[in-house]
Amino acid sequence: MESKKLSLPRHENTGPANSLPYRLARQQLAGIPDIEEQCRKAGAQYSGESITLQYLNRAYLITLPDAEISLINSTEAIPIRDRILILHYLLTSRGTPPADKLIAFHELHEGSIYYPTFAKRTIQPLVDNFGSDPSLLLTVSRKLGGQKTDYGDAAVTINAFPHVTITIILWRGDNEFPARGDVLFDATISHYLPTEDVTVLCETIVWKLVGLKRSV
């Protein structure tokens, strides 16, 4: 099942809990005829009254039928963008097995059109904050469940959702070339999130990493 194309708030804590995208996503989730099957496709656990889902190395509880979202074992407030991403993932998931093939953002549907925005909101802050010391990315990403992988000067793969992996790559700058960065995805990512949500997810991850860097 695919969710309607809804714009997410641009900033992490922007938008009230009753914002239109959030309300529509909750209504769509309540209208799924076979929620148990949809949870299976998403890799979520369905109990009859609630859904448990892993998102960025933390467990979230979605209480039915109103789709209220909370962190398990925490009273921490959940930013509206995270809540919308969680619901959109549940709505869009098709249960497609991983392709074990990495693709770049421009290979996604309309990715070439959105790439300048994606680069500005994701790649640039990544390079600005980690380009001079790519190894720091390996350290701070552990909090999000990041696993080291062999690309560039430093790279990590983060399981954003059960079926959505984000691979972040950095190349250190030198006297001849500036630092560079890239983000890659399993080729099935469009079976779990629309392109606009992929942009928001990657931006969210990068700024979470920046926040963790500041606490090191």
Identify the pLDDT of residue 182.
97
Phi, psi of 16 (to 5 degrees): -70, 165
**Token reading at 56:** 């960025």
pLDDT band at 187, cuts 50/70/90? Answer: very high
pLDDT band at 86, cuts 50/70/90? Answer: very high
Q: Taking residues 185-209, what's their average pLDDT?
A: 97
- The domain ranges of the chain are 20-92, 102-214
| pTM (two decimals) | 0.89
CATH pick for 102-214 out of 1.20.1510, 2.40.50, 3.30.310, 2.60.40: 3.30.310
- pLDDT per residue as tens digits for the range 110-124: 999 999 999 999 999
Identify the pLDDT of residue 183.
98
Alpha-carbon distances of 200 from 3, 8, 27, 61, 83, rounded to whole Å: 15, 7, 21, 21, 12
**Token reading at 10:** 């641009």
